[in-house]
Structure 1
Amino acid sequence: MPKRVDHRARRALIADALIRVAAERGLEAVSLRHVAAEAGVSAGMVQHYFRTKDEMMAFAVGAVAENVEARLAEAGGPAPDAPPREAVGALLGQLLPLDGARRTEGRVALAFHAYAAVRPAAARLNSGNERLRGFIADRLRAARAEGAAPPGIPEPAAAAGLLALVEGLALHVLTGQTAPEEADALLDAHLDALFTRP
């Protein structure tokens, strides 16, 4: 009987190896050979699942997003009917590099952004940001409709600004310019400004 192969598990194994290589050595060290060595598999196996570096990157970005969602779920996450500010705060708090796992993911996210910035074909690596902006804008719209948030700049622009703030704070934490607790407090202050009842 032929051996059954769990292709999703193999792709995840390779993506986890890519994340470790990118976080520890930077994207310049990411190659089929290095990722294969880190995963403990052959370069041929990596090529079987990912024909190009861009494909590997896109899958790994998705794996990082799944890690964030899994952590939210493990922590009890915000309930589906949670107040909008609580839901947005819980999600964005997972994007700040405040512990070991989030620091690793933050270094990888930073490397991916730099990679996508110089490779137009890799722009899809940032597609998860559109989903995040949409989620934040929807929660802010709901809060305003309930009278639980003051009117202000349009929700899509406010969401884009808030996400840019978090990405900037993450960069500052990773480079030692801002203490993790200060970044957390700054995020709270901005959430209060957006979601506090007038």
Structure 2
Amino acid sequence: MPRQVDHADRRCRIADAVCELADEHGLEGVTLRDVAARAEVSMGAVQRCFRTKEEMLVFALGHIGERIAGRVRARLVRSPAQSAGTALGHAATEIALLREEHRAEARVWLAFVAQAAVSEALAGAVKANYAALEESFTRLVEEAGEGGGDLSDDPAVPPDARREARALLALADGLTTHVLIGHLTPRAAQDVLHAHLARLLSE
């Protein structure tokens, strides 16, 4: 009897292999052959999961984005009674990937963002990820400032809340880069992020 293959699990294993290779060699060093070897599957198995290398990279990008988002959700679930301001701080800290255990993830994420500048498919995936984060940040900024509210794409959304959410997302992203290249220490980056949040939440 043929062995049952868990295709979802295999795709995730392949995505993990892509991320490991991207961390070690950059995305330009990711080949289907190396991915298959790292994931311990055949080349044919990789090609049955993904029709093209680009499709594989888009899935891997979504995989790492979901891993980060999952940590954000987990922090919110562990402390359901926390204020919107505290939740916003937790979310921004997770997105910035400043902790040592997330350094490899940060390198891979930035490799994907750089490649997205020349790949329409990757750019679409990155923009979708940022759009979802922006919406979450906007809701939390509005709730922190007004004690509640339901944001959507409605034009009634206060423009200040969305602008502040975009600024916070851009700051978190920028701090990731500054830490990776050694311009800032993780502690200095955390200080910058916390100071910005303190100013935002006191206004």
TM-score when normalising by structure 1: 0.88
Which one-letter code corresponds to 1:146 in the other structure? G
Question: Contact (CA 8 Å) 2:96, 2:172: kept in 1 or not?
Answer: yes
1:164 shift after superposition: 0.7
Q: What is the CA–CA distance in structure 2 between the aligned matches of 1:62 and 1:144, rounded to whole Å?
A: 31
Structure 1 residue 172 and structure 2 residue 178: aligned? yes
Q: What is the CA–CA distance in structure 1 between the aligned matches of 2:93 and 2:132, rounded to whole Å?
A: 16
Structure 1 residue 186 and structure 2 residue 192: aligned? yes
Q: What is the CA–CA distance in structure 1 between the aligned matches of 2:17 and 2:100, rounded to whole Å?
A: 16
Tell me, which stretches of 5 or more residues in structure 2 are unaligned?
149-157
Cross-structure match for 2:147: 146
Q: What is the CA–CA distance in structure 1 between the aligned matches of 2:123 and 2:132, rounded to whole Å?
A: 14
Q: Deviations over 1:130-164 (max 9, x none)?
A: 110000001111122229xxxx9621121111111
Distance of aligned partners of 1:22 and 1:129 in 2 relative to their CA distance in 1, 3 Å threshold: same
Cross-structure match for 1:132: 133
Structure 1 residue 156 and structure 2 residue 157: aligned? no
CA RMSD of superposed structures (Å): 2.1
Distance of aligned partners of 1:78 and 1:193 in 2 relative to their CA distance in 1, 3 Å threshold: farther
Q: Deviations over 1:46-85 (max 9, x none)?
A: 1111112222122112221232244346657553442112
Which one-letter code corresponds to 1:180 in the other structure? P
Q: What is the CA–CA distance in structure 1 between the aligned matches of 2:16 and 2:54, rounded to whole Å?
A: 15
Q: Write out the 4+ residue segments of structure 1 that deviate beyond 6 Å after TM superposition.
A: none
Tell me, which stretches of 5 or more residues in structure 1 are unaligned?
none
Cross-structure match for 2:14: 14
Q: Secondary structure at the match of 1:98?
A: coil
Query: How many residues get paired?
Result: 193
Q: Deviations over 1:77-129 (max 9, x none)?
A: 55344211211111221123333431111001100111111122322221111
1:37 shift after superposition: 1.7
Q: What is the CA–CA distance in structure 2 between the aligned matches of 1:162 and 1:72, rounded to whole Å?
A: 15
Which one-letter code corresponds to 1:136 in the other structure? F
TM-score when normalising by structure 2: 0.86
Cross-structure match for 2:201: 195
Question: Contact (CA 8 Å) 1:23, 1:107: kept in 2 or not?
Answer: yes
Which one-letter code corresponds to 1:161 in the other structure? A
Distance of aligned partners of 1:72 and 1:159 in 2 relative to their CA distance in 1, 3 Å threshold: closer
Q: What is the CA–CA distance in structure 2 between the aligned matches of 1:139 and 1:75, rounded to whole Å?
A: 14
Which one-letter code corresponds to 2:79 in the other structure? A
Distance of aligned partners of 1:138 and 1:172 in 2 relative to their CA distance in 1, 3 Å threshold: same
Q: Secondary structure at the match of 2:95?
A: coil
Question: Contact (CA 8 Å) 1:106, 1:170: kept in 2 or not?
Answer: yes
1:5 shift after superposition: 1.3
Question: Contact (CA 8 Å) 2:76, 2:87: kept in 1 or not?
Answer: no
Question: Contact (CA 8 Å) 1:77, 1:90: kept in 2 or not?
Answer: no
